[in-house]
Structures are given as C-alpha cells and as structure tokens.
Amino acid sequence: MYIDANTIITISAVLAALGGIGGVVVWCIKFVDRQKKQDKELAAIRKEQTLICYGVLACLKGLKEQGCNGPVTAALDKLEKHLNQAAHEEEE
C-alpha cells in the first residue's frame, strides 16, 4: 500500500476530529460532575440556613415572651412571613 500526502492529510484530519470530539465529551463529563457537586453543596447550605432560621425564630419568640417588643416583634413577623412563603414555594 502506497501512502501519499493526501492519505496522511486525511488521517490527520480524522485524528484531529476524534481528538476534538473526545475533548468535548470529557468537558461535558467534567461539567456534569461539577454541577452535581455544587448541587450537593447547595443542599447542605440550605439545610444549614434552615436550622439557623429556626434558631433565630426561637430566640425571637423567647425575647417576645420576656416582654421585648418593637424591633423584636417586627423581626419575628418578617421571619415568620419569610418562612411561610419559602415553605409554599417548595411545595410548587
């Protein structure tokens, strides 16, 4: 079999195309893995923020029971409203 310049060019073009396709596939796989990792991290952050919100809510309710009014009542109302809205958004 005789290998001329056109054969070498064709083989090079095929190898370059395969390399490009392989690069795109590897990039897609890495992208999906990175997204999954970020989703797990965000879920953990949301869970932590939920616990913090409930802790702050408990503190505000305790302060209100002790007779602290004004900003405590306003903050308590805003936090309860926010938690209710967030709970209804999760249901949808």
Residue-wise pLDDT for 25-82, tens only, equals 999 999 999 999 999 999 999 999 999 999 999 999 999 999 988 899 999 999 999 9
State the amino acid at position 62 in one-letter form: G
Q: How many domains, the chain?
A: 1
So what's the pLDDT on residue 92?
Answer: 62
CB 60: neighbour CB atoms within 10 A?
A: 21
- Whole-structure pTM value: 0.65
Task: State the residue range of the domain holding 34.
Answer: 5-91
Rounded to whole angstroms, the Cα distance separating 21 from 14 reads 11
So what's the pLDDT on residue 72?
Answer: 92
Helices and strands per DSSP (H, E), number in the chain: 2, 0
So what's the pLDDT on residue 86?
Answer: 85
Q: Which two tokens stand for residue 44?
A: 């953990």
